[in-house]
């Protein structure tokens, strides 16, 4: 079998006839035609065998581009990355950490014009988004950890983003300044106000060029609306409103109004002892401003339409897959909890991530997912030990590529998985410091579950569960991915 399937046999020239008697003319013509066909056949075979089959996202066609963050083994808790997000054109990449800091990276202009294009980013701005607080009424400390970052679409030279910790959402403006004004009439050069009696002449202020400064300033602070920890924020397609979700409620905000929000989902029972599920993630539809979805710890996803009623306790659709009785165990409810849900860029599909798998849903079909991809099925036999070390409660995120043809999510041992929906191929890759050399091609990794281990495989018993890829992001237009591994941000791109 060849690269393109079964190859046709190549016609070989017949041996020349003996010198006596001399060859007849028809025989000679047949020989010439056969030689011509043979030559063409060889050319076609050479062309086909020499042409590389285009690789898809799910195949091992990724290479290392950059790593951000300190390479020391001594990692402080505040430096651990807690969220990653590209903006809408992929020019900026933001990360938040457990220390409440937001770091924004900007695409290197030279990397876009290089041939081939490179996915390289430089630090653009760093600022402290949240500080630790203390709730004196409940005697609880509020962590500064950044749970989510969401970009607003750009409308002017400045950039805007939302960041949230457990209780407070903030709207940040990130702008550039490369000019300053001098020669004020009412101010001294040091900023002090002049005595009006000492002003004897009017001056025209002048503009002075200064080194580029990137400033981040909080424009709005949305606080005191959530009793429980915020797990999701999502900007509406109208770019005027956004939602914030905690364990039991979802609130709708207007970006210009900080002292008022509307409660659109409330699943809190009258008696908390009757509580059976919590909200785990929520997101607006990318084009329909009245539609949003939210997932629960019971493994269900509910789609709500705000046109039907102000309080969306009654969902329009519910997506749920019946449980396979053969896989029923003590851990079934825990591993069926959905940790993340993302609608596709087209708005037709959505993906949901539970502990062991990632599923693709068609919004027109509620009964079952149209695709299911096992992420680390080999861990099903180790659920007991994962329960004991609390890893079974880890919340893995997932993301789409720009064309909705591939999806990505994380795993343990700094592994992450890429699934190609067209070819149904998948690959396991590793975000490792051993490959931090530009253009190094990532080798696919395989996990051995038992029996004889091959050379390039790693035993499931050797996986490091302290190293985990929880947060990933995919460039909206190119094959550039960002993967957060503890305190390091890895940037990979498709093969050069």
Residue the block writes with tokens 């070819």: 423
What is the tens place of the pLDDT at every residue in 273-298?
999 999 999 999 999 999 999 999 99
Q: How far apart are CA 109 and CA 91, in angstroms?
A: 9
Does residue 328 have a pLDDT over 60? yes
- Confidence tier at 41 by pLDDT (50, 70, 90): very low
Tokens of 215: 């400033």
**CB-based contacts of 232: which residues, under 8 Å, 6+ apart?**
148, 243, 244, 245, 279, 281, 282, 283, 294
Question: What rounded mean pLDDT belongs to the chain?
Answer: 86
pLDDT in tens, 303-323: 999 999 888 989 999 999 988
DSSP category for residue 19: S
Return the SS3 of 69: coil
pLDDT at 208 (0 to 100): 85
Count each helix (H run) and each strand (E run) in the chain, helices first: 4, 32
pTM, 2 dp: 0.82
Q: Taking 60 as the threshold, does the pLDDT of residue 51 lie above it?
A: no
**Residue 373 pLDDT greater than 50, yes or no:** yes
Lookup result for tokens 């400045």? 158
H or E segment at 372? Answer: strand 371-374
Position 7 pLDDT exceeds 90: no
Facing residues of 122 across strands? 106
CA nearest to 176, candidates 164, 159, 188: 159
> In this model, does residue 27 exceed pLDDT 70?
no
Could you report the per-residue pLDDT of 238-268, keeping only the tens digit for each? 999 999 999 999 999 999 999 999 999 999 9
Residue 109: count other Cβ atoms within 10 Å of its Cβ. 11
H runs (alpha helix) in 129-252: none
What's the CA gap between 257 and 222, in Å, rounded? 8
Phi, psi at 43, each rounded to 5°:
-65, -45
Query: Is the pLDDT assigned to residue 65 strictly greater than 80?
Result: yes
**Contacting residues for 30 by C-beta, under 8 A, at least 6 apart:** none
For the domain covering 62-494, report its CATH number. 2.130.10.10
Q: What is the pLDDT of residues 396-452, one digit of tens each?
A: 999 999 999 999 999 999 999 999 999 999 999 999 988 888 888 999 999 988 777
For residue 282, whether the previous peptide bond is cis, meaning omega lies within 30 degrees of 0, is: no
The residue-averaged pLDDT of 15-23 equals 46
What does the pLDDT look like over 165-182, one tens digit per residue? Answer: 999 999 999 999 888 877
What is the pLDDT averaged over residues 74-80? Answer: 92
Q: Which residue has the higher pLDDT, 76 or 18?
A: 76
Distance CA 130, CA 82 (A): 13
DSSP-derived 3-state class of residue 249: strand
pLDDT, tens digit, 9 for 90 and up, residues 152-167: 999 999 999 999 999 9
Determine the Cα–Cα distance for residues 91 and 69; give it in Å rounded to an integer.
20
pLDDT value for 496: 57
For the segment 193-233, what is each residue's pLDDT rounded down to a tens digit?
888 888 778 878 888 888 888 999 999 999 999 999 999 99
Q: What is the pLDDT of residues 81-112, one digit of tens each?
A: 999 999 999 999 999 999 999 999 999 998 88
| Cα–Cα dist 465/488, whole Å | 17
Q: How confident is the model at residue 475 (pLDDT cuts 50, 70, 90)?
A: very high
């Amino acid at each position: 079998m060849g690269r393109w399937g079964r190859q046709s046999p190549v016609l070989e020239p017949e041996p020349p006839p003996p010198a006596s008697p001399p060859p007849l003319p028809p025989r000679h013509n047949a020989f010439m035609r056969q030689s011509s066909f043979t030559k063409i056949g060889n050319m076609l075979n050479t062309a086909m065998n020499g042409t590389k089959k285009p690789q898809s996202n799910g195949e091992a066609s990724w290479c290392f581009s950059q790593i951000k963050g300190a390479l020391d083994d001594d990692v402080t808790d505040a430096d651990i990355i807690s969220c990653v997000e590209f903006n809408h054109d992929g020019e900026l990449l933001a990360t938040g950490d457990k220390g409440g800091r937001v770091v924004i990276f900007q695409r290197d202009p030279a990397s876009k014009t290089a041939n081939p294009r490179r996915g390289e980013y430089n630090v653009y701005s760093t600022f402290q988004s949240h500080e630790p607080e203390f709730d004196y009424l409940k005697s609880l400390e509020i962590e500064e950890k950044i749970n989510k970052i969401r970009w607003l679409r750009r409308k002017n030279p400045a950039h805007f983003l939302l960041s949230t910790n457990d209780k407070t959402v903030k709207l940040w403006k990130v702008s550039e300044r490369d000019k300053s004004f001098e020669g004020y009439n009412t101010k001294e050069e040091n900023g002090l106000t002049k005595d009006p009696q000492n002003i004897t002449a009017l001056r025209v202020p002048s503009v002075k060029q200064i080194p580029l400064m990137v400033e981040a300033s909080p424009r709005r602070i949305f606080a005191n609306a959530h009793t429980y920890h915020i797990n999701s924020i999502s900007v509406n397609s109208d770019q005027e409103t956004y939602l914030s979700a905690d364990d039991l409620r979802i609130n709708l905000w207007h970006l210009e109004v900080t002292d008022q929000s509307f409660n659109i989902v409330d699943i809190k029972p009258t008696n908390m002892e009757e509580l059976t599920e919590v909200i785990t993630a929520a997101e607006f539809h990318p084009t329909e401003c009245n539609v949003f979805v939210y997932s629960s710890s019971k493994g269900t996803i509910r789609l709500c339409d705000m046109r039907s009623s102000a309080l969306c306790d009654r969902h329009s659709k519910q997506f749920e897959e019946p449980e396979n009785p053969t896989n029923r165990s003590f851990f079934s409810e825990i591993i069926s909890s959905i940790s993340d849900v993302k609608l596709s860029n087209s708005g037709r599909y959505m993906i949901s991530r539970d502990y062991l798998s990632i599923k693709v849903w068609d919004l027109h079909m509620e009964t079952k997912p149209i695709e299911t991809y096992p992420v680390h099925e080999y861990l099903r036999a180790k659920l007991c030990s994962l329960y004991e070390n609390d890893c079974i409660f880890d919340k893995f995120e997932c993301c789409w590529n720009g064309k909705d043809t591939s999806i990505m999510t994380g795993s343990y041992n700094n592994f992450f998985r890429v699934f190609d929906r067209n070819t149904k191929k998948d690959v396991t890759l590793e975000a490792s410091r051993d490959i931090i050399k530009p253009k190094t091609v990532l080798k696919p990794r395989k996990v051995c579950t038992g029996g004889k281990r091959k050379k390039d495989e790693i035993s499931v018993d050797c996986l490091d569960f302290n190293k985990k890829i929880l947060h990933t992001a995919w460039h909206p237009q190119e094959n550039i991915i960002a993967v957060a591994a503890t305190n390091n941000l890895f940037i990979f791109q498709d093969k050069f």
